[in-house]
Structure 1
Amino acid sequence: MEYVTASRMIQAPVETVFATVSDIRSFSKAVDSVTRVEFLTEQQTGAGTRFRETRRMNGREHTTELEVTEYILNERVRMVSTAGGTVWDSVFTVRPVGEAAELTLVMDAEPQSMLAKVMMRLARKVVVRLLEADLDAVVQYCEQHREQSNAGGH
């Protein structure tokens, strides 16, 4: 079931935007609420990568294990996790729009129990707010990165 969809136009190259959302090391630099990342596989990018992401939400830390299940360079990355009795399937898609990039996040959620279904409905507004904040942080990070690259003569 589609749970959340959000998009942003980013004044940065597709490659920069994709690298930011597809590599948790870059994503954690962009998104302040990510406080810790622990890799569970030797590889750190691409399909098959597994990691634990710890986030600060509402003053508490929450850790989620994710796996990259699809990775098409500079186009899309899919990450899947199970948390709170729900399978979360998140797909970031990046496409060029002139010299900018459009980033779209589609998050599907499949509750595994009646309680998870109820909790999902109750938490939807909070999840949407957090994801919107993540995307805003990615925009800021990518656009600052572009400005720094341009200032450096690149």
Structure 2
Amino acid sequence: MTHTELSLTVDAPIGVVFSTVADVSNFSEAVPHIEHVEFLSETRTGVGARFRETRLMGSRRATSELEVTEYVQDERVRFLADQGGTIWDTIFTVGPGPDGRGTQLVMVMEARPYKLGAKLVTPLMKRVVAKAIAADLDAVKAYAEAAG
């Protein structure tokens, strides 16, 4: 299992930051390398929302199916994906920023490989994944600050 945790302060209200990460329509608009989102459920936000996301990863396209498994308005949202022999478990949490200014956004991702090939490759991908997540969070920050 690999564990990645990143946080940053966003100069925008909690509600704006939360809706940017918790609503896949906003998230896909905020993150420029997400090319397409296809909803697989009638639910678009909140627990039970399922969707297929296609994004550019370097020069390749990667498609993942994700499901929202936990959703507490203006507090946290959790996404699960089963991709390539690994369970990707991602939680975004929002709260008051340092000194009560802005919003603290924390993203924790755990990758739990269950197939042999994934058990070998997933730990090697940690640095690449962390870099991609940092880029996502920077895009979320810019989007939320522009909206807030």
Distance 2:125 2:2 in 1: 14
Instruction: Give the structure 1 partner of residue 56 of structure 2.
Output: 56
Q: Letter of the 2:108 partner, please give it.
A: V
**Percent same amino acid at aligned positions?**
47
Pairwise CA distance, 1:113: 1.7
Correspondences of 1:2-151 after superposition (within 5 Å): 2-97=2-97, 98-146=100-148
- Structure 1 unaligned regions, length at least 5: 147-154
* Alignment deviations for residues 89-139 of structure 1 (CA, whole Å, 9 cap, x no partner): 000000022241000000011101221111111211110100000001111
TM-score normalised per structure 2: 0.96
Distance in 2, matches of 1:109 and 1:47, equals 21
Residues 48-94 of structure 1: per-residue CA shift (max 9 Å, x gap): 00000000111111110000000000000000001111000000000
Secondary structure of the equivalent of 1:92?
strand
Give the number of equivalent residue pairs.
146
* Distance in 2, Cα, partners of 1:128 & 1:118: 17
Unmatched runs of 5 consecutive residues or more in structure 2: none
Relative to the length of structure 1, the TM-score reads 0.92
Give the Cα–Cα distance (whole angstroms) in 1 for the partners of residues 101 and 128 of structure 2.
Answer: 33
Q: Distance in 2 between matches of 1:8 and 1:59?
A: 27
Question: One-letter code of the match for 2:138?
Answer: D
User: Which structure: larger Rg?
Assistant: 1
CA distance in 2, matches of 1:122, 1:46: 32
CA distance in 1, matches of 2:129, 2:91: 15
In the alignment, is the contact (CA less than 8 A) between 1:2 and 1:106 conserved in 2? no
Mapped contact 2:85–2:118 kept (Cα < 8 A)? yes
